[in-house]
Structure 1
Amino acid sequence: MSQHLEPASSHPPSAVIWVGFIAMCIGMFMGILDIQVVATSLPTIQQAINIDPDQMSWIQTVYLIAEVIAIPLTGLLTRVLTMRWLFVASIGLFVVASTGCAASNDFGELVAWRVVQGFSGGTLIPAVFSAVFILFPNERQALATTIAGVLAVLAPTVGPIIGGWLTSTYSWHWLFLINIVPGIVSALVAWQFLPRQKGDVSELRHLDGLSLLMMALALASLELGLKEAPTSGWISPYVLSLLAFSLVSGSAFASRSLRRTRPIVDLHHFRDRNFLVGSALSFVLGIGLFGSVYLMPVFLAFVRGHNALEIGMTMLVTGITQLLTAPIAVALEKRTDPRLLSAAGFGLFAIGLGMSAFHDPRSDFDAMFWPQVVRGAAIMFCLLPPTRLALGTLPASRVPDASGLFNLMRNLGGAIGIAMIDTIIYTRSEPLGQRLWDQLRAGDAATAAFIGAPAGTITGSTGEFAPDTIAALDPLVQTAASVQAINQAWLIVAILTGCALLFLPFARRLTASQP
């Protein structure tokens, strides 16, 4: 493996290095932001270019598939191109693809450009997090990770605001056009200020095409299976075949990669106990982070009827709290065992998720304020210490590969978490609605109050309601059943996030000579 990546020196990094790194962070922010702003405005795009409703979700799906394939390739691409040229090429291609998306006139054209956009954007997050440990000495890594982490988590938070404002004020084309100027500026700044290194094109001569194909097929079929499972059913032939194909392809890829001296993705990183624990924490964080960012818009849009801009204003609480607590996280991260900080972070994050499991159909900003504050205060403690556990003790030459795997685990956790949430909402709403009807027929006043039934509708007597009463109560019951299903999803996500505490005893304590 190429050794052209040198570890950061013990001297404080110059202002030039910081400028180059911040340019990388801005590019990463635009890549993450693009996912959210497009997601909130899919109906507008669908109507503008006459996309069939059942095809609309592919605009996001193809992006996510391309992204998840690109993420683990970051190490290989870094060795071939160097960190500097990988970022410049990725953000440049991302800008070109964004322009193509904005100029698209039909579904096929838009999907093709979204594939390019997803692949180029997929390398940005792992490239930035590997840069933390390549560009900066130990004492500066916490600050650099915080800057990257704040922007990485802030992008989904402000995405609904920006997406809603752009589509309502201008047009859907600006969802993509906003990437152009920041993308060009960050590419030029990074090209000028990031360190010059020598690439290793000999890596391409050893490229294992079969392993690359197997990895791409495994990840793509897994993403498709997770997308279809909630609606088609987890045991439907289509979903089972996709998941089985993913398992077979993934197993073949792993077996082949472990036998090769120069694999596309070095899975031997998982033999490092701290990297394995850090990756498990990253996976769990993906479930909680992606799950919370998904559940709040679902509730606010479908239960409360808010538009994208109103949803974004509500969700901004998490981002503001995260910004306020980031300096505290940096200060503690330098002085505290990362295992203890991770335990505190994931414990607090699980509590914040669990606090959202008690909404009723009338819950709004006030009810969501404190759960968001708790989650926002916890996020940096769920990101900084696990990143240090996973990547902070590795040699610089191994960091890009490891960063790709580490970030892939978070994305896979998010994909599985969202599929699980959709499954709960799809499968639990109907039986919960039937139970609400049974309780109403039994004259349960608490149930009537929960669904918001008009005074006097429930008299306390048992039996069937009159047809006009059923017609009046039915939309209230359906909404309340959806709320209960969403609450159950919040609770399951909270429990799974709390399970992160089970991994921490297996991590080794970092010695004084380590970051």
Structure 2
Amino acid sequence: MSLGMFMAILDIQVVATSLPTIQSALGISADWMVWVQTAYLTAEIVAIPLTGYLTARLGMRWLFVGAVCVFTLASLGCALSQSFEQLIAWRIVQGFSGGTLIPSVFAAVFLLFPERSQALATTIAGVAAVLAPTVGPIVGGWITQSFSWHWLFMINIVPGVVVGAGVALTLRGKASERTRSTAIDVPALALLAMGLTALQLGLKDAPSLGWDAPRVLGLLGLFAACGAAFVWRTLASRAPLVELRCFSDRNFAIGCVFSFVLGFGLFGSTYLMPFFLGLVREHGPLRIGEIMLVTGITQLLTAPIAVYLERRLDPRLLTAFGFSLFAVGLLMSGEQTAATDFWGMFAPQIVRGAAIMFCILPPTRMALGRLPPHLVVHGSGLFNLMRNLGGAIGLALIDTTIFSRAATEGNEIVDKLRSGDLATALAIGIPRDAFLEQRGQPLDEFALEMIRPLVEKAGLVSAINSAWLLCGILTMLAVTLIVFVRRVSPAAKAANAAVAADR
């Protein structure tokens, strides 16, 4: 089961470094490649609330086997995709099936093992969960550069067969039991999926069509209507899709905000780095993976420290420390130039990598430590859902920021060049003598063709920096919420279990 979870987490990371390659191979514009990640995350968000219901109906054993089989088939579909539309369709199926694997693994820890063995089982599952994002970038880059991007998905086939057969043969007893379950609220699920899709499309179309365009207003209006209907139906239902009563606890509500912001910054940084390195620095996927490996190694090295401190210190202090450090790491990346490379990204990655576990473990105990026992399972699912929701919305907003700002920044650079600004010319790479000879004269076609790529790249770098600053400022603002959190006992047993379940 841990191997299956490793596959699901790895599938986000291995694809990240190869996004520019996939974009070029499928012939799509750069502003559409974000959907390779967004489709997966959005499908996961829809699947997470269904995990409890499906476990009750199918039993943990057959739910896991079925999810792994669907995930494996979807991976094959992604590998064989000949168009962008086919790839996105299979990524949705992949994300939906993968969304049930992580909760199932940690539920198995507490359902299948005696209490004396749970610590070891949690450690094994936790190592798999942390190792996937550590090795993902370098593995993805090596696979794409050595073979092709299709093998990013083909590598799931053999492990998927092994996991499916292994789980089917070895899980017995409680894992095969089915329990009575209430009917799933299909309309609420449809409202959730429709609302999220409308929001993603609205945010995507806004920069090109304008925020007041009928299509954009219609999509955002549909999102608002679906959201309101989802909340109303969920509160009125006897068997709600998600237990919104958890939000009546102040700590849980604030903890979910932290989870949302973490998803925004975490998935956002994983998208922005390969975007910059592929389109600005023009690195291949392997080199991108080598550069991004710094974050994963730092996270892996600091994880034991975070686990040790999380059991002994006030989660409010650790949460404030983790998110402040993470915000600093994001803001440090907001000053990149077109020449920024490995060493320019080294320090920000170290800072972000050191902060990640402090942004995951303490907020989870803080959020779930005061919930009644019967709401802890529901709260854990919602908490995890909010992180993925933050990632999906964050990617859409980051893409919106980049492609709305890039054109504006490019026009400003052109205006400065026309006014004879030497500093701007040197900053984007125009030789001093060539610019001085041309200054004061109208640009001919040859000169325009020479400087156009430089202007476009400089505008893109500035727009990417704006996206980094957006992530950093939002994360820093979230830190201020810590003053409203009530103290949580470090000995909250239910929360300790939920910490592992969420990770």
Superposition TM-score, scaled by structure 1 size = 0.83
Partner of 2:249: 272
Q: 1:483 — aligned with what?
A: 461
| Structure 2 partner of 1:324 | 301
By how many angstroms is 1:182 displaced? 2.7
CA separation of 1:111 and 1:416: change in aligned 2, threshold 3 A:
closer
Contact 1:75 1:265 in 2 (8 A): no
Structure 2 match to 1:450: 427
Partner of 2:352: 375
RMSD: 3.5
Structure 1 unpaired stretches of 5+: 1-22
- Is the Cα–Cα contact under 8 Å of residues 134 and 297 in structure 2 kept in the other structure? no
| Offset of residue 145 of structure 1 | 7.2
- Residue 50 of structure 2 is matched in structure 1 by 73
**Structure 2 residue aligned with 1:196:** 174
Q: Could you report, residue by residue, the CA deviation over 1:368-387 in whole angstroms, capped at 9, with x for unpaired residues? A: 01010111111111111112
Cα deviation code 1:195-245 (max 9, x no counterpart):
7257555324x3333223222322332333334444444433223222211
Give 3-state SS (helix, strand or coil) of 2:181's partner: helix
1:8 aligns with none
Deviation at 1:305, TM superposition (A): 0.6
Equivalent residue number for residue 487 of structure 2: 509
SS of alignment partner, residue 433 of structure 2: coil
Question: Could you say if the C-alpha distance between residues 232 and 65 of structure 1 is closer, same or farther in structure 2, counting changes exceeding 3 Å?
Answer: farther
Q: Distance in 2 between matches of 1:459 and 1:105?
A: 49
CA distance in 1, matches of 2:417, 2:37: 41
The answer for the alignment partner of 2:291 in structure 1 is 314
Distance 2:85 2:423 in 1: 51
1:501 Cα offset (Å): 0.8
**Structure 1 residues 484 and 139, CA gap change in structure 2 (3 angstroms):** farther
Cα 1:144–1:454 shift into 2, 3 Å: farther
* Candidates 358, 365, 375, aligned match of 2:335: 358
Matches within 5 A, 1:105-116: 112-116=89-93
Match of 2:473 in 1: 495
**Alignment partner of 1:472 is 2:440:** no
Equivalent residue pairs, number: 490
Counterpart code for 2:470: I
- Residues 270-298 of structure 1: CA deviation (Å, up to 9, x unaligned): 12222212211010001111111111111
Aligned residues of 1:346 and 1:381 also touching (Cα < 8 A): yes
SS in 1 for 2:432: coil
**1:416-438: CA deviations, max 9, x gaps?**
22222222222222332233334
Query: TM-score, normalised to structure 2's length?
Result: 0.85
Q: Summarize the Cα distance change of 1:103–1:435 in structure 2 as closer, same or farther, 3 Å threshold.
A: closer
Contact 2:112 2:174 in 1 (8 A): no
2:313 is the counterpart of 1:336: yes
**Shift in Å at residue 36 of structure 1?**
4.2
Question: Residue type of the partner of 1:72?
Answer: P
Q: Which one of 425, 433, 453 corresponds to residue 402 of structure 2?
A: 425
1:284 to 261, 269, 284: 261
- Quick check: 1:133–1:399 contact (8 Å CA) kept in 2? no
Classify 1:46/1:405 alpha carbon distance in 2 versus 1 (closer, same or farther; 3 Å). Answer: same
2:389: which partner in 1?
412
**For residues 486 and 21 of structure 2, what CA distance do their matches in structure 1 show?**
50
Distance apart, 1:345 and its partner CA: 0.4
Matches within 5 A, 1:8-23: 23=1
Distance in 2 of aligned mates of 1:339 and 1:494: 20
CA distance in 2, matches of 1:437, 1:103: 43
Q: Which residue of 1 aligns with 2:218?
A: 241
Matching residue's letter, 2:403: Y
Q: Quick check: 1:46–1:56 contact (8 Å CA) kept in 2?
A: yes
Which one-letter code corresponds to 1:202 in the other structure? R
Distance 2:128 2:297 in 1: 12
Give the AA of the match of 2:95.
G
How far apart, CA to CA, are the structure 2 residues paired with 1:240 and 1:332?
47
- Structure 1 Cα separation of the partners of residues 154 and 141 of structure 2: 15
Contact 2:311 2:490 in 1 (8 A): no
1:257 deviates by: 1.2
Within the candidate set 202, 210, 228, 1:225 is matched to: 202
Tell me if the contact between 2:246 and 2:371 (Cα under 8 Å) persists in the aligned partners: no
Deviations 1:301-345 (A, max 9, x none): 111111111111111110111111111111111111111111000
Secondary structure at the residue paired with 1:304? Answer: coil
State the SS of the aligned residue for 1:235. Answer: coil
Deviations 1:435-489 (A, max 9, x none): 3334445554443332122132444997446435554333222211211111121
Distance 1:84 1:389 in 2: 31
- Structure 1 Cα separation of the partners of residues 354 and 173 of structure 2: 34
1:196 aligned counterpart, secondary structure = helix
Distance in 2 (alpha carbons) for counterparts of 1:395 and 1:255? 23
Partner of 1:214: 191
- AA aligned to 2:451 is L
75, 87, 100: which one aligns with 2:64: 87
| Residues 1:391 and 1:95: Cα distance change in structure 2 (over 3 Å) | farther
Over residues 34-68 of structure 1, what are the superposed CA-to-partner deviations in whole Å (9 max), with x where a residue is unaligned?
234445556766887x7877997766554444322
CA distance in 2 between counterparts of 1:408 and 1:157 reads 22
- 1:123: Cα distance to partner? 1.8
The answer for the alignment partner of 2:153 in structure 1 is 176
Greater displacement, 287-296 / 256-265: 256-265
Residue 501 (structure 2) aligns with: none
Partner of 2:283: helix, strand, or coil? coil
- For structure 2, the 5+ residue unaligned runs are 494-503
1:167 to 144, 148, 157: 144
Pair 1:223–1:470, CA change in 2 (3 A): closer
Closer/same/farther in 2, CA of residues 215 and 496 from structure 1, 3 Å limit: same
Structure 1 residue 305 corresponds to structure 2 residue 289: no
Residue 46 to residue 347, structure 1, CA distance change in 2 (3 Å): closer
In the alignment, is the contact (CA less than 8 A) between 1:429 and 1:482 conserved in 2?
yes
The match for 2:496 is none
Matches within 5 A, 1:41-190: 41=18, 62-102=39-79, 112-128=89-105, 152=129, 155-156=132-133, 158-187=135-164, 190=167
**What CA distance in whole angstroms lies between the structure 1 residues aligned with 2:49 and 2:82?**
32
